[in-house]
Structure 1
Amino acid sequence: MLKSNYRWILKRADEEKVRALTDALHISTLTARLLVLRGIDRPNKADIFLHTEKAQFHDPMKMLGMKEAAERIIRAVRDQEVIRVFGDYDADGVTSTALLIRALRKMGARVTSYIPNRFKDGYGPNVRAVEKAEEDRVGLIVTVDSGIAALEAASRARKLGIDYIVTDHHEPPAVLPNAFAILNPKQPGCDYPFKGLSGAGVALKLVQAVCPDQLNDGWIALASVGTVADLVPMRDENRLIVSKGLRAMDGGSLAGIDALKIKAGINGTMDSDMIGFQLAPRLNAAGRLADADAALCLLLADSAGEAAPLADRLEELNRQRKALADKIMIEADKEASGYYRRGDKALVLAGKNWHQGVIGIVASRIVEKYYRPTIILSIDEQSGAAKGSGRSIDGFNLYRGLERSSEHLTQFGGHQMAAGLSLPEEEIDAFREDFNLAAAESLDDQAFVPRLAVDGECTPDQITVDQIEELDKMAPFGTDNPRPTFRMDTVRLSKISAAGREKAHLKVTFQGREKELDGIGFGLGGRLEQISPIDCPTVIGNCSINEWNGFRKPQFLIEDLCIDGPQIFDWRSEQRIREKISALPSESATLLAFHPESAERLRIGNSVTLFEPGMSVSRPNLVLLDLPEQEDQLSELTVNSPRVHRVYAVFYHQREHYFSSFPSRNHFVWYYALIRQEHSFMLDVMAQKIARYKGWPERTIHFMTKVFFELGFVKIEKGLLTENSAPVKAPLTASLTYRKEKKQLELEDLFCYSPLSSLKTWFEKQMKYRDKATEPEGTMNGL
């Protein structure tokens, strides 16, 4: 048995709707089921979803406040007022800022920008920045990706006579800023048909309103980067923005984006993962370690020569960001492992002067490793203040957990899955205790196993290049439209190995009824030793096309796997037995021998358990070092050991088969006839003659002689064999030697020389008896 790393949640679709979509759009059942699961169950909507080129942008004027905002901006451009764009330091904020500045410049505006410094200014617009704008004779401030909760900044702008427009996408508070206009599809009273835009998406709608005939690919490319980076739902208008943006980037959009692609090593067709994992982290690195000016300047660059050094700067900052995160991760992980072993339900980790710009990344990585709600705190040695970032897991509202522990906190804010906080250093231990208590009250043991949603089931035969290309029409993938995940049940393996540097990846070939399918599990190389070649795992993953040397093949990207039932590992010809055994966790493995001398001959040591009749084994891994005297001994042991799910078959025996083949009855008849003919002969001399004449091994002849001796058919004295003239009739089985050797041969055939599949069948049969015997009374199969 091999357990999965995740709890698999198999989604169920309305099969009638699936059939209707399949028939109407002439698509595969797999694709139709995915559409239905995403709530796209009408043919017209599904057709547009699969063909984004048929989609249209929503009318920007449907957004509450758009008319007022657009008119005010157009007037400011006409009157040559200075417009200042207030942005944010993350990728969504920087792309929003660049997008609006580019559009305003295209209109001929006098435009400047302000992006707060994470460490000096904190998040969002602030009063100091507004006052600086007044000093600079700014007539209009437009916020992007921020401002919906910045009441003081808006109030100060009004007092200073600066018109203040908010464009934001975050959840609005109960009290809204006193602004000239607010653009936020989530604000009360806004009838805009899509509420899931990013900050860059809202900025794009504003640009569409003020520049309806000038929208270009570069602007949409910026909006697509912000949309993917901010993890907003990849639905509705967001899919259209990202689809158009990806196509624009493929053709070359802005000098800054092109320079980022070069640094990231992207030279093929762009997809949303490349934005999320390659471009966005480089843009974010500037705001995490310093300020976001380098990122903004890059996105405003108009030539490759101007963009290249800025991209170099971001690449260096990203390298530093990775190094910082790795260093803190090592320190935080040491601390986390202790609390994890202690049984903490949540992890509160603190370190001196950990860089505040990367502790959120580290929190996410700790959650990924330990799957516990995690708070990472950076303690300022001078002030004694600790500032932190938190990440949560499904089922635990991080913000509510901080509320429960708020008596220790100076400040906190956030939502269910992420939050920020600050507190005095001396309160950390008390906060850890209370926060753990909050987590323990909310989470049961099952909650600490991460969930993995599964869209449907498939077979190796179904995964073809054509099928994958059809599934790819559901791209771009992202939040609320994840890459399709499928389950393949108990699939046979024709090949299995480890691949990559340090054998980190698991490489397999699945055997379907009609064809084979390659599979790769990145980071799963350690599971190779946990999978027997005859296992039929159930695997979870998604599909991709592997292109190499002009060939295109389907492949299955394994995310998780499990194996039900017993597993049998063949170590019968293994030369590195001691090395293999040492790799097994000692607390989960029993080394069992039926003969005391086996451990000594194998040079294993004194950790071997000697078989006793009626015994049971309590550990899940059972290493069978040698052969039992009788098959029933091993059968009894297996039935008595319900916790054993993996058997490692060594079955050491000192000699090979005693015979190349066990002598048949005809062998005995021929040899006895010779004895009766000769009456008497020297055994050694005759054995040599028979061996040459019949081609039998001499040991076969000596064995038959011993059987005849035990049956009283012959006498042997000083090497001379003499016929017993009046023997008592007896079957061959009356000889102890005959029975013992025949039984030994049968044991060797069954356990030492049979195919591994036959060995597994034998153990499965015993375990069925075992499991049936331990089944609770009244249990019904299938319930």
Structure 2
Amino acid sequence: MTVTIVRREVTDAASAELPPNLTPLIQRIYLARGISHARELERTLPYLESNQSIKDIDKAAVLLADAIEQQQRILIVGDFDADGATSSALGVLALRAMGAAFVDFLVPNRFEYGYGLSPAIVDVAKHQRPDLLVTVDNGISSIDGVQAAKEAGMKVLVTDHHLAGEVLPDADAIVNPNQPGCPFPGKNTAGVGVIFYVLCAVRAELEKRGWFTDPHHPRRKPNMASFLDIVALGTVADVVGLDSNNRILVHQGLNRIRAGAARPGILALAEVAKRDPSRLVASDLGFALAPRLNAAGRLDDMSLGIELLITEDPMHARYLASQLDSLNRERREIEGSMKEEALRDLAKLELDEAQELPWGVCLYQDDWHQGVIGILASRVKEKIHRPVIAFAPGDEGQIKGSARSIPGFHIRDALEAISTRYPGLVIKFGGHAMAAGLTINEQDYPQFSDAFDQEARRLLTSEQLESCLVTDGELTPFELSLDTAEQLREAGPWGQNFPEPLFDGIFELQDQRLVGGHHLKMVLVPEGGSDWIDAIWFNIDTRQWPDTSIKKVRVVYKLDINEFRGRRSVQLMVEHVEPV
């Protein structure tokens, strides 16, 4: 796979109105991400987008306020990923804090019921006799499930953020920034952000009714900002675009965690992940805490993760977090084995001179784990830089696929095109530009694989199959410092569509050795400098590295801080190395 290094261009610098106290480096980084005004860098809550423009939010607030006032049974139906877990936990905690007498959650087990509010899940929900059923992080495509719930006498509130289909479910209210006719500008809001906005509207509705000032039943009005640690975790975990609105939510949530004011479950996740809560950054949420929370939904039952977020008992939280940590280790072992098998199959394909690697890659084995195929598709995509769909056995005669894409190839639209061109080939599908899920008949796998490859060849160019690392240029030897690393850390939160600064430069390679079996520890000296700098490159190809014949390298890296036994030093987190 060819790797191209491209430096970000800074445009419209002359017309930018950024705060004058920013260093030239931070200004350059912001400008390269399209930030040109100080307003876009505000991270305080008064700058959060108002919920007034969200379609149907008033209807949703009335539905929930009525249910609370009338002591109706409220049941939250969530998704089995981290966004769904945080959304479910937030709904339960906030509604209870507002005085809801009966509120509980139900999350489908992915292996029994699949995704979303299905008629089968409604049958399970009936046992709890809910008056109001609330979906979080799902429901916009649950036409049959909503109908089944309505026929069972339930009111239904759908809260979701996924793209809507041509037909909407017949719910009592739908709150989704991405539904037709919704003018709310925060289209990147995660499921947990959507239910957060709804709950803020519910609190305002109850306040208007005098719910919190009733002299006969005094009730404390909850501080909605106290739930932002959960909102931050779900937002980062779902890899939604960190636009200015999401950056406010994440920044405020991180501040609560750093101040020690987070939920016991989030602090326990940080503890098992060996992260210091007082120094937590967005990438820690995405790469350390979220995978452990997600492990419950991938291998077991996401109820475990929701219970972790809901509990008030720190000891119980530690117990649940240790269980999730064990599940995550198991998930990594399964994923590692599946990845090895998948890459071995691809290597065989590349060695066959009569064939070249498909442009759109499908992978399937009948013993693969359904809960891990999404991660597998992501890992293989990173390795070969092509759209990848990994399949695992589903219901009788069917297989379920999880798809991951590359820039320039809208995976959901591609699946829709295949479904239109070959009626009946795709049983069901859904998703976004970069990730999607689908179900096909096992016997149709060869035909679908060929159709997916042809669709990729139709829409992509060979240049798009080259991996491109976009950097923010070089750092001078003077800038390779703790002070710069702290500035970069504070300038975030960084994440999807607002990428963490990535740099490239020429270094003398002083030392290199393997650690942990497949990580390369290096000692580097920057060109034009004299100080030695530690660097770590994870998951290298051990057939190529270490290589003691190489003395000079171009390195693509992130500037980080290594903290060990009270000592803090600069460390480069390496993304790519090539000899010079």
Task: Tell whether the structures are fold-level matches, with TM greater than 0.5.
Answer: yes
Partner amino acid, structure 2, of 1:311? A
Q: 1:294 to 1:371 in 2, by over 3 A?
A: same
Q: Over residues 263-283 of structure 1, what are the superposed CA-to-partner deviations in whole Å (9 max), with x where a residue is unaligned?
A: 222235111122111211111
- Residue aligning to 1:297: 307
Q: 1:87 to 1:41 in 2, by over 3 A?
A: same
CA shift, 1:374, in A, is: 2.1
- Residue aligning to 2:240: 232
The answer to whether the Cα contact below 8 Å between 1:252 and 1:258 also exists between their aligned partners in 2 is no
1:138 aligns with 2:130: yes
Q: 1:166 to 1:495 in 2, by over 3 A?
A: same
- Residue aligning to 1:704: none
Partner amino acid, structure 1, of 2:473? G
RMSD value, Cα: 2.7
Which of 186, 196, 206 lines up with 1:204 in the alignment? Answer: 196
The answer to whether the Cα contact below 8 Å between 1:272 and 1:478 also exists between their aligned partners in 2 is yes
1:417 aligns with 2:434: yes
CA shift, 1:425, in A, is: 3.2
Q: 1:209 to 1:134 in 2, by over 3 A?
A: same
- Residue aligning to 1:119: 111
CA shift, 1:412, in A, is: 3.5
Q: 1:132 to 1:410 in 2, by over 3 A?
A: closer
Which of 387, 394, 403 lines up with 2:400 in the alignment? Answer: 387
The answer to whether the Cα contact below 8 Å between 2:512 and 2:548 also exists between their aligned partners in 1 is no
The answer to whether the Cα contact below 8 Å between 1:167 and 1:203 also exists between their aligned partners in 2 is yes
Q: 1:226 to 1:163 in 2, by over 3 A?
A: same
List, as ranges, runs of 4+ consecutive aligned residues in structure 1 with deviation greater than 6 Å.
none
Q: What is the alpha-carbon distance in structure 2 between the residues aligned to residue 416 and residue 384 of structure 1?
A: 28
Q: Over residues 634-675 of structure 1, what are the superposed CA-to-partner deviations in whole Å (9 max), with x where a residue is unaligned?
A: xxxxxxxxxxxxxxxxxxxxxxxxxxxxxxxxxxxxxxxxxx
Name the structure where helix makes up a greater proportion of residues.
1
| Structure 2 counterparts to residues 245-256 of structure 1, below 5 A | 245-250=253-258, 251-256=260-265
Partner amino acid, structure 2, of 1:372? R
CA shift, 1:550, in A, is: 4.4
1:244 aligns with 2:261: no
Identity rate, percent: 33
Q: What is the alpha-carbon distance in structure 2 between the residues aligned to residue 176 and residue 411 of structure 1?
A: 16
The answer to whether the Cα contact below 8 Å between 2:84 and 2:137 also exists between their aligned partners in 1 is yes
* Segment of structure 1 superposing worse, 182-191 or 271-280: 182-191
CA shift, 1:67, in A, is: 1.6
CA shift, 1:247, in A, is: 2.1
The answer to whether the Cα contact below 8 Å between 2:507 and 2:554 also exists between their aligned partners in 1 is no
- Residue aligning to 1:545: 561
* Structure 1 residue runs without a partner (length 5+): 565-783
Q: 1:383 to 1:71 in 2, by over 3 A?
A: closer
The answer to whether the Cα contact below 8 Å between 2:389 and 2:404 also exists between their aligned partners in 1 is yes
Partner amino acid, structure 2, of 1:510? V
Q: Which has the larger radius of gyration?
A: 1
| Structure 2 counterparts to residues 82-481 of structure 1, below 5 A | 82-109=73-100, 110-134=102-126, 136-211=128-203, 213-216=221-224, 218-250=226-258, 251-268=260-277, 269-341=279-351, 342-345=355-358, 346-379=360-393, 383-403=396-416, 405-406=418-419, 407=422, 408-481=425-498
- Residue aligning to 2:29: 34
Q: What is the alpha-carbon distance in structure 1 between the residues aligned to residue 578 and residue 127 of structure 2?
A: 65
The answer to whether the Cα contact below 8 Å between 1:506 and 1:527 also exists between their aligned partners in 2 is no
CA shift, 1:365, in A, is: 1.6
Q: Over residues 72-116 of structure 1, what are the superposed CA-to-partner deviations in whole Å (9 max), with x where a residue is unaligned?
A: 211211111111111111110011011010111112211122111
Q: What is the alpha-carbon distance in structure 2 between the residues aligned to residue 430 and residue 254 of structure 1?
A: 49
Q: What is the alpha-carbon distance in structure 1 between the residues aligned to residue 158 and residue 30 of structure 2?
A: 36
Q: Over residues 157-195 of structure 1, what are the superposed CA-to-partner deviations in whole Å (9 max), with x where a residue is unaligned?
A: 334442211111111223222222221122233232322
* Segment of structure 1 superposing worse, 208-217 or 193-202: 208-217
Q: What is the alpha-carbon distance in structure 2 between the residues aligned to residue 137 and residue 361 of structure 1?
A: 36
Q: Over residues 453-504 of structure 1, what are the superposed CA-to-partner deviations in whole Å (9 max), with x where a residue is unaligned?
A: 222333222333222222222211110111111232xx35272433534473
The answer to whether the Cα contact below 8 Å between 1:399 and 1:416 also exists between their aligned partners in 2 is yes
Q: What is the alpha-carbon distance in structure 2 between the residues aligned to residue 494 and residue 125 of structure 1?
A: 55
CA shift, 1:428, in A, is: 2.5
- Residue aligning to 1:56: 47
Q: 1:290 to 1:34 in 2, by over 3 A?
A: same
For the residue of structure 2 that corresponds to 1:17, the secondary structure is coil
Q: Over residues 715-740 of structure 1, what are the superposed CA-to-partner deviations in whole Å (9 max), with x where a residue is unaligned?
A: xxxxxxxxxxxxxxxxxxxxxxxxxx
- Residue aligning to 2:7: 10
Q: 1:193 to 1:90 in 2, by over 3 A?
A: same
- Residue aligning to 2:210: none
Q: What is the alpha-carbon distance in structure 1 between the residues aligned to residue 244 and residue 382 of structure 2?
A: 30
Partner amino acid, structure 1, of 2:468? R
* Structure 2 residue runs without a partner (length 5+): 205-220
Which of 518, 533, 541 lines up with 2:533 in the alignment? Answer: 518
Q: Number of aligned residue pairs: give it.
A: 550
Q: What is the alpha-carbon distance in structure 1 between the residues aligned to residue 230 and residue 507 of structure 2?
A: 46
Q: What is the alpha-carbon distance in structure 2 between the residues aligned to residue 331 and residue 284 of structure 1?
A: 23
Partner amino acid, structure 1, of 2:3? Y
Q: What is the alpha-carbon distance in structure 2 between the residues aligned to residue 256 and residue 20 of structure 1?
A: 41
CA shift, 1:519, in A, is: 4.5
Q: What is the alpha-carbon distance in structure 2 between the residues aligned to residue 492 and residue 315 of structure 1?
A: 38
Q: 1:417 to 1:503 in 2, by over 3 A?
A: closer
Partner amino acid, structure 1, of 2:138? S
- Residue aligning to 1:747: none
CA shift, 1:216, in A, is: 5.0
The TM-score normalised by the length of structure 2 is: 0.87
For the residue of structure 2 that corresponds to 1:25, the secondary structure is coil
The answer to whether the Cα contact below 8 Å between 1:224 and 1:242 also exists between their aligned partners in 2 is yes
* Segment of structure 1 superposing worse, 503-512 or 329-338: 503-512
Q: 1:562 to 1:111 in 2, by over 3 A?
A: same
Q: What is the alpha-carbon distance in structure 2 between the residues aligned to residue 518 and residue 9 of structure 1?
A: 24
* Segment of structure 1 superposing worse, 396-405 or 267-276: 396-405
- Residue aligning to 2:520: 505
Q: 1:164 to 1:270 in 2, by over 3 A?
A: same
Q: 1:28 to 1:410 in 2, by over 3 A?
A: same
| Structure with greater contact order relative to length (CA < 8 Å, sep ≥ 6) | 2
Q: 1:273 to 1:5 in 2, by over 3 A?
A: farther
CA shift, 1:403, in A, is: 4.8
Q: What is the alpha-carbon distance in structure 1 between the residues aligned to residue 272 and residue 579 of structure 2?
A: 42
